[in-house]
Structure 1
């Protein structure tokens, strides 16, 4: 069984999270500059068996597209070209940034850590992945 990798794609940075090989637990992996993301994913796929990608899909409260939705959809097309045999799942990412910040506060993170957007991005990816895993059970 391969890992599932979640992607919280943004115009500047992208948060990544991954499951354990048994696909039970989601763990923050890294935050990568978005223009370096595809190379990072290619290298990661050489080291680890990837079963699927989960992409956080930005939506408004009324489920309409946000300004970032076309950006994410464009990335998904590129991902399909590079990884044609790997399934890609879209998953609602509403409120994940807020939930990530709340999680950091509850965990006692320093204010400087909470200001670092890369921390929020990878925690958001972890929340997306954990929510995806729970939806499959």
Structure 2
């Protein structure tokens, strides 16, 4: 069974998470600079089939798009252009970074790990993917 891949998009880093082949468990995969994401995905998908992309949708508390929404739309358009055969779904990403920071803190991570923004982005993508999976 192909995997499902989720992205926590940022202009400096993109956190990536994937499901296992049976689509039961979400796992953090990596953090990649936006300029390297397409090359990274092409290489990854040569080894592992991916059936769907889930992209975090940045929203304000009042449900309106946040300032970073335009960057996310550009990323989604790039994914559509590069991988037209893979469906893309948007999923509300509110609070994923705060939840990721709390999860890292609860795990007993050292201070240097807690301050690693790449780790926060990867855990955020994992939380995003878990949330999407739970809606089914």
Range into which the TM-score falls when normalised by the shorter chain = over 0.9
Q: In structure 2, what is the equivalent of residue 101 of structure 1?
A: 101
- In structure 2, the residue matched to 1:39 is 39
TM-score normalised by structure 1 residue count = 0.98
Which SS does the other structure have where 1:43 is aligned? helix
* TM-score between the two structures when normalised by the length of structure 2: 0.98
Does the residue aligned with 2:135 lie in a helix, a strand or coil? Answer: helix
1:34 to partner: Cα distance: 1.1
Where in structure 2 are the equivalents of 1:84-99 lying within 5 Å? 84-99=84-99
- The CA deviation string for residues 70-111 of structure 1, in whole angstroms up to 9 with x for no partner, is 100111011001110101010000000000000011111111
Partner of 2:75: 75
Unpaired runs of at least 5, structure 2:
none
Greater shift in the superposed pair: 122-131 or 105-114: 105-114
Q: Name the residue aligned to 1:12.
A: 12
* 3-state secondary structure, aligned to 1:7: strand
Structure 1: segments with no counterpart, 5+ residues: none
Displacement of 1:133 in angstroms is 0.4
Post-superposition offset of 1:129: 0.3
Displacement over 2 Å in runs of 4+: none
User: How far apart, in 1, do the equivalents of 2:26 and 2:7 lie?
Assistant: 12
Look up the match of 1:124: 124
Partner of 1:135: 135
Name the SS for the 2:6 alignment partner: strand
User: Which residue matches 2:112?
Assistant: 112
